[in-house]
């Protein structure tokens, strides 16, 4: 019994310590000594790897999700004779919820895991240690540009996801199912509010970008420098960031739309 | 060279993101930059506003000419007072215009329909529409119908 309590305590302490190290990493890499001149070319490179290369999966899944929403919305709404409202349904569900959340989940799988594996391998092959030996701070050189790249590209990817999704929904609803063009867009424009819906969605995506990249970078930096350690860290990145995104999404939704 | 392709790629990502924001703002949320702030306010009292909300449209013959900006309860008259903003270019509403609360479609949202009168004087900032007709409340209607049936 006491052993069990002890092991529980050990797990708790380890988690707490990891959380503290993650906070330390964040502060050291970002707040303490920013150096924009050195970081810019590195940031461009990371933006390319994290943002541009994620574009394809974002665009494809956004299009398909929008099309499915259009189709499902139509089959439900046509029973009530209000199939013009499908535009508003597609736009609201994408802009408020699906675009930030699904983008964050895909981003964690596509870019987060790659970040973790890359930094973990750097650690395992002692590149981080040798950087330190030649007097370059690995936090500033390796961690900070990757973190900022994730933080910047997430809202951009989310907005692209929304637009492509709504376009996909419009294709299905207007071109295929024959909903009148004008009422589709007019209903949507009347229902979607720029500040309440679009900006809140973007705020969500900024929060998710912060959390997902933070987890990815930290797990890589903090992993056990073995092949097993790297694979565990990569798995943890995907699992933790997905859970964090879904949990935070509920909290943010409750704050933004729940009239608390 | 490698750096150049990367920078071009990132540039396109930034452009796509900016474009997406513009599309979201203008095309999807219907945010218009022009007609914010311009317009004059008129007021109307209604017995019952039904499901009318702020930002609902104010229309004349079905064409939008403004929007509802505020709804409050008048404590003296015990009626709902609706404040609406009419676009500046619509300056031909006569003082004896009437306002009705209408529903777009069977289950659609409610809006205010204005019918112009015959008076030569026009409504201006802060004026009040006196002739109003309340929202159609389905329960009242059913109640009246049943009452008529019973009394027959």
- B109, part of any domain: yes
pLDDT digits (tens, 9 = 90+) for A12-65: 998 899 889 988 888 887 776 666 777 788 888 888 988 898 999 999 999 999
Q: Which residues contact A89 (CB under 8 A, 6 or more apart)?
A: A69, A73, A77
Mean pLDDT score, B119-146: 84
- B95, part of any domain: yes
Domain tally, chain A: 1
- B149, part of any domain: no
Q: Are B140 and B146 in contact (CB under 8 A)?
A: no
- A27, part of any domain: no
Hey, what long-range contacts does B114-117 have (CB within 8 A, 24 or more apart)? B114/B58, B114/B59, B114/B60, B114/B65, B115/B60, B116/B60, B116/B92
Q: Is the pLDDT of residue B47 over 90?
A: no
Q: Are residues B65 and B126 in the same domain?
A: yes
A181 touches chain B (CB under 8 A): no
Cross-chain CB nearest to B107 (options A82, A185, A198):
A82
Residue A92: list chain B partners with CB under 8 A.
none
Q: Are residues B46 and B100 in the same domain?
A: yes
Q: Are residues B21 and B46 in the same domain?
A: no
Q: Are residues B61 and B125 in the same domain?
A: yes
The four Cα atoms A180, A185, A186, A188 give a dihedral, to 10 degrees, of: 120
Q: Are residues B54 and B107 in the same domain?
A: yes
Which of the pair, B1 or A244, is modelled with greater confidence? A244
- Rounded CA Rg of chain A: 22
So what's the pLDDT on residue B36? 56
So what's the pLDDT on residue B107? 64
Please give the residue range of the domain that contains residue B11.
Answer: 1-31
pLDDT digits (tens, 9 = 90+) for A207-246: 999 999 999 999 999 888 898 999 999 999 999 999 999 9
Closest residue of B to A196, CA-based? B29
- B79, part of any domain: yes
- B152, part of any domain: no
Which of the pair, A97 or B137, is modelled with greater confidence? A97
Three-state SS string over chain A comes to CHHHHHHHHHHHHHHHHHHHHHHHHHHHHHHHCCCHHHHHHHHHHHHHHHCHHHHHHHHHHHHHHHHHHHHHHHHHHHHHCCHHHHHHHHHHHHHHHHHHHHHHHHHHHHHHHHHHHHHHHHHHCCHHHHHHHCCCCHHHHHHHHHHHHHHHHHHHHHHHHHHHHHHHHHHHHHHHCCCCHHHHHHHHHHHCCHHHHHHHHHHHHHHHHHHHHHHHHHHHHHCCCCHHHHHHHHHHHHHHHHHHHHHHHHHHHHHHHCCC
Q: Are residues B44 and B100 in the same domain?
A: yes
- B150, part of any domain: no
Q: Is the pLDDT of residue A128 over 90?
A: no
- B69, part of any domain: yes
Domain tally, chain B: 2
So what's the pLDDT on residue B131? 86
Confidence of residue B31 (pLDDT cuts 50, 70, 90): low
Q: Is the pLDDT of residue B35 over 60?
A: no
- A259, part of any domain: no
Q: H or E segment at B11?
A: helix B2-22
Please give the residue range of the domain that contains residue A121.
Answer: 37-254
Q: Are A223 and B59 in contact (CB under 8 A)?
A: no
Q: Quick check: B9 and A52 CB within 8 A? A: yes
pLDDT digits (tens, 9 = 90+) for A58-106: 999 999 999 999 999 999 988 887 878 888 899 999 999 999 999 999 9
So what's the pLDDT on residue A188? 84
What's the length of chain B? 152
Q: Are residues B117 and B97 in the same domain?
A: yes
- A243, part of any domain: yes
Token pair belonging to B135:
């929202």
CA distance A152 to chain B (A): 10
Q: Are residues B4 and B54 in the same domain?
A: no
CA atoms within 13 A on the CB side of A40: 3
Confidence of residue B117 (pLDDT cuts 50, 70, 90): confident
Q: Is the pLDDT of residue A180 over 70?
A: yes
Q: Are residues B65 and B125 in the same domain?
A: yes
Mean pLDDT score, B107-119: 82
Mean pLDDT score, B52-71: 83
Please give the span between the terminal C-alpha atoms of chain A, in angstroms, as a whole number. Answer: 43
So what's the pLDDT on residue B111? 85
Mean pLDDT score, A2-12: 89
Q: Quick check: B6 and A82 CB within 8 A? A: no
Confidence of residue A260 (pLDDT cuts 50, 70, 90): low
Q: Is the pLDDT of residue A130 over 60?
A: yes
Q: Are residues B60 and B129 in the same domain?
A: yes
CA atoms within 13 A on the CB side of B2: 4
So what's the pLDDT on residue A40? 82
A166 touches chain B (CB under 8 A): yes
Q: Are residues B120 and B54 in the same domain?
A: yes
pLDDT, averaged across chain B: 83
Residue A188: list chain B partners with CB under 8 A.
28, 30
Please give the span between the terminal C-alpha atoms of chain B, in angstroms, as a whole number. Answer: 91
Q: Quick check: A44 and B27 CB within 8 A? A: no
Residue B9: list chain A partners with CB under 8 A.
48, 52
pLDDT digits (tens, 9 = 90+) for A159-172: 999 999 999 999 99
So what's the pLDDT on residue A183? 77
Q: Are residues B45 and B27 in the same domain?
A: no
């Amino acid at each position: 019994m006491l052993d069990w309590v002890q092991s529980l305590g050990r797990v708790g302490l380890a988690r707490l310590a990891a959380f503290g190290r993650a906070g330390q990493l964040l502060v050291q890499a970002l707040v303490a000594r920013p150096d924009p001149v050195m970081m810019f070319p590195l940031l461009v490179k990371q933006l390319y790897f994290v943002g541009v290369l994620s574009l394809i999966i974002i665009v494809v899944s956004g299009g398909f999700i929008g099309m499915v929403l259009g189709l499902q919305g139509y089959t439900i709404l046509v029973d009530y004779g209000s199939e013009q409202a499908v535009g508003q349904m597609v736009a609201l569900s994408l802009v408020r919820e699906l675009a930030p959340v699904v983008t964050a989940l895909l981003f964690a799988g596509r870019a987060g895991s790659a970040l973790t594996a890359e930094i973990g391998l750097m650690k395992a092959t002692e590149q981080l240690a040798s950087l330190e030996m030649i007097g370059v701070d690995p936090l500033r050189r390796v961690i900070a540009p990757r973190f900022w790249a994730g933080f910047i590209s997430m809202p951009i990817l989310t907005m692209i996801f929304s637009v492509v999704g709504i376009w996909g929904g419009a294709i299905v609803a207007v071109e295929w199912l024959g909903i009148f063009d004008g009422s589709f867009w007019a209903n949507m424009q009347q229902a979607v509010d720029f500040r309440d819906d679009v900006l809140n969605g973007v705020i969500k995506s900024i929060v998710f970008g912060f959390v997902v990249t933070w987890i990815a970078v930290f797990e890589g930096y903090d992993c056990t420098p073995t092949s097993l350690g790297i694979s565990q860290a990569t798995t943890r990145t995907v699992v933790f960031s997905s859970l964090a995104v879904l949990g935070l999404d509920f909290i943010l939704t409750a704050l933004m739309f729940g009239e608390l | 060279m490698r750096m150049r392709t990367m920078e071009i790629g990132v540039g396109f990502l930034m452009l796509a993101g900016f474009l997406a924001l513009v599309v979201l703002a203008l095309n999807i949320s219907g945010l218009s930059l022009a007609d914010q702030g311009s317009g004059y306010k008129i007021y109307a009292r209604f017995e019952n506003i039904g499901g009318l909300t702020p930002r609902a449209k104010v229309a004349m013959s079905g064409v939008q000419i403004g929007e509802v900006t505020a709804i409050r309860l008048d404590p003296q008259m015990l009626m709902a007072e609706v404040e609406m903003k009419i676009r500046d270019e619509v300056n031909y509403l006569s003082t004896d215009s009437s306002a009705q609360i209408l529903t777009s479609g069977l289950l659609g949202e409610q809006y205010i329909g204005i019918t112009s009168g015959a008076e030569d004087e026009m409504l201006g900032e802060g004026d009040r529409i006196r002739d109003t007709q309340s929202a159609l409340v389905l329960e009242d209607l059913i109640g009246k119908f049943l009452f008529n049936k019973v009394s027959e």
